[in-house]
Structure 1
């Protein structure tokens, strides 16, 4: 099917020239369309048809067409940078030599001495000004260490009872009174005059002077206040010694050395006294002294028997080998008869010293724990460090006296030691030295 071209638009007559000359700026009047009964239908213009231009509208000028380059011009490039001429050196001007000035070098500052033990700036200084004090209802207790100590002294007690019963035969019918008096003598451990005699004659302690009491009593009040213990129930004593040490004796005695009192800051002195108070509170002091007292007759009898045996052995050796053999058989038969009659009880005495030493070491750890629980763990660790250094100096002195031969500690001596070693005690304090979460 052939597409016909669209009809051309109708042509309108030109406006009169007079109207164009009179008003060039007004649009020209267009002739009225003839009256027809119905407007003719014009076909729609094609979208590609160009709209008629107004005769008075000038056509806009077209922009000039400039030539465009498809590719930028290639400029010559150089791979090597241009060589720069060397910069001229500045002229050297004559300079006047300046005199050398030597400043005095200050001498190195001397290390500051550590604070004195009584200086409040010392890191282990504690305040002793306390107001109200809460006293605990339970002042003492008997822990497992004290009970174990008493049980271990039982074989010694039975041997002492045998010795006292043999001695009571001298008194005939009144011998049982002698045995009862010995059994009741254990109460003297808690008698104040007997304690004073024990501290003065056996432990070599003395009463403190007024100046020493002014040094000890504020620290002791702080220790007992933290523990909730009535401090006036105990007596403070001093030992004239240049070593760092302290002792808890009988039922009411706390003794410190002169070195500990004068050379330690009050915080470390409080740690030492809190350790000794732990022995009293736990029952270690009175149980050890009571066991030692009831074992004393057996100890004396053993020393007498050993001395007599030594004398008899030297006498038998003076005769001949036959005398030595006879003496050995006699002593062996007597020991066998004693062991058989006592159901092997004397054999336990051979192992008791090792068991007592182990219980004593445990008591020391419990006393350390008591002092650390009162807040003296850092101070107690410092005291243990000083004790360790003191022991090292003693070992070095003994080594030098032996010509440089080191002192070797035997396993038996370690088993019989009454105190734990430094590293063991410090290990048990770590729980109190570490910061709490």
Structure 2
């Protein structure tokens, strides 16, 4: 297959039928501010959309006329190909697991089941199977008539700029409170309902263009195929870890002894496979696989962002990533900042609909004394439970866990934002004579 083109090369094809040619991709991405160096994470010159139903969604410049559809609708880039190669050793282990488990039932199944399992991979790209995966595995739904009408306008512009047949992919809705979209299987592009409500058409087109970049680059189908063939090996590994955890958790000498013996057997088996049998080429990639795959996922995100910038959605994608960075830096905060306060209302934090409000004391009612700063305060039970804190999780651990998750998400959004600005800077430099 031909490799998809990325920033600088993703220029929309000229229109057929005598129309004027489309502007280069850089014309969509350039702005009055030069991107000679990465910009600080802060407010940009272009306006930020107003959250809520009052936002003006119709801000996407519509491109009329016919467009030339590319002969190759999708390909496979370096990130997708590397993902497949990294999971080959894990796939071989999965094949052995399937053969051993089926052979324990009957020797005939040891020959039939592994072959059937190998041939079952392409079935995940059947339209009916994809619909079942989207509906029951990812919790997606079909768009309502109003949502379909709006998505139709935005998707038409995204596919027109990319030169991709719009009927190649199906649009779905996810009930999630994130400004995001998802590419799944081989023909599914899903956008969250929260993004439909909060984002104007230009920024909605940016997230859809990002997901189209995943499909065009082959990231989606390569990841799904790799996950499918690695599933038996990962299930066997998790079963062994669960057994070890159960044995050591018994706190009985017999369980601890069995867990120690099993751990020594695993270490001895890995040592023999690596150094005695010379199968390091199988053991080392499996051990380093998670780190390599995480790096490839990040590279695929950068490629998809660059593809969206090449289609002219650079500034819109920058706004979306900045909103994600703000939301990740302050967990629970609205992505586009707090809602505006109407005139005359005091600037106090208002409860959201359905939130419990403690009753206010009436005049003369006894009030328990409040602890002074630094005084110990006994933990209060959380709603629906009698004990003061969740079992095995103190307030310090919960806060630390939340901070780590928020920091990781914030770092990812910042890295993508720097990459988008770098690609936009490169496009500006190419457009300067």
Q: Deviations over 1:22-70 (max 9, x none)?
A: xxxxxxxxxxxxxxxxxxxxxxxxxxxxxxxxxxxxxxxxxxxxxxxxx
Match of 1:370 in 2: 307
Q: How many residues align?
A: 317
SS at match of 2:178: coil
- Secondary structure of 2:120's aligned partner: helix
What is the SS of the residue equivalent to 1:394?
Answer: coil
2:52 aligned with 1:142: no
Aligned partners of 2:316 and 2:299: how far apart in 1? 21
Report matched runs for 1:413-428 at 5 Å: 420-428=415-423
2:279 pairs with 1:343: yes
Contact 2:172–2:191, Cα closer than 8 Å, also in 1: yes
Alignment TM-score, normalising by the size of structure 1: 0.65
- Alpha-carbon distance change, 322 to 392 in structure 1, aligned in 2, over 3 angstroms: closer
- Could you report, residue by residue, the CA deviation over 1:255-284 in whole angstroms, capped at 9, with x for unpaired residues? 000111111110110011011001111111
- Structure 1 position 159 matched with structure 2 position 93: yes
Distance 1:273 1:127, change over 3 A: same
Deviations 1:374-412 (A, max 9, x none): 111111111111111111122889xxx7598797759x9
Of 271, 274, 296 in structure 1, the residue corresponding to residue 209 of structure 2 is 274
Match of 1:388 in 2: 325
Partner of 1:49: none
CA contact (8 A) 1:248 1:279 kept: yes
3-state SS, counterpart of residue 148 of structure 1: helix
Asked if 1 retains the 8 angstrom alpha-carbon contact of 2:306 and 2:420, the reply is: no
1:219 aligns with 2:161: no
SS of structure 2 residue aligned to 1:375: coil
Residue aligning to 1:46: none
Larger Rg: 1
Residue 312 in 1 paired to residue 220 in 2? Answer: no
2:172 corresponds to:
237
Cα deviation for residue 114 of structure 1 reads: 4.8
What aligned pairs does 1:344-363 form with structure 2 within 5 A after superposition?
344=280, 345-363=282-300
Match of 1:173 among 81, 99, 108: 108
* TM-score, scaled relative to structure 2: 0.66
Gaps of 5+ in 2: 1-47, 335-394
3-state SS, counterpart of residue 286 of structure 2: helix
Q: Which residue of 1 aligns with 2:347?
A: none
Change (3 A) 1:171 1:227: same
User: What does the per-residue CA deviation read over 1:118-145, in whole Å, with 9 as the maximum and x for residues that have no partner?
Assistant: 355xxxx213362212211121111111
Within 5 A, what are the aligned runs for 1:70-149? 114=50, 116-118=54-56, 120=58, 125-128=59-62, 130-149=64-83
1:191-270 superposed matches below 5 A? 191-270=126-205
Residue matched to 2:384: none
- Secondary structure of the structure 1 residue equivalent to 2:204: helix
Matched, 1:294 2:232: no
Quickly say closer, same or farther: Cα 1:191–1:326, change in 2 above 3 A: closer
Per the TM alignment, residue 149 of structure 1 is displaced from its structure 2 partner at its CA by 1.0
- Superposed CA deviations along residues 333-365 of structure 1, whole A, max 9, x for unmatched, are 344345444713223212111111111111111
Deviation per CA, 1:72-114: give whole Å up to 9, x if none: xxxxxxxxxxxxxxxxxxxxxxxxxxxxxxxxxxxxxxxx995
Q: Distance in 2 between matches of 1:130 and 1:162?
A: 55
Counterpart CA distance in 2 for 1:373 and 1:393 is: 31
Flag structure 1 segments of 5+ consecutive residues without an equivalent.
Answer: 1-111
Higher relative contact order (CA 8 A, sep 6+): 2
Alpha carbons of 1:312 and 1:421: their partners in 2 closer, same or farther (altered >3 Å)?
same
CA RMSD of aligned residues (A): 3.3
Separation in 2 of the partners of 1:114 and 1:316?
Answer: 57
CA shift for structure 1 position 433: 6.1
Shift of 1:307: 1.3
SS in 2 for 1:254: strand
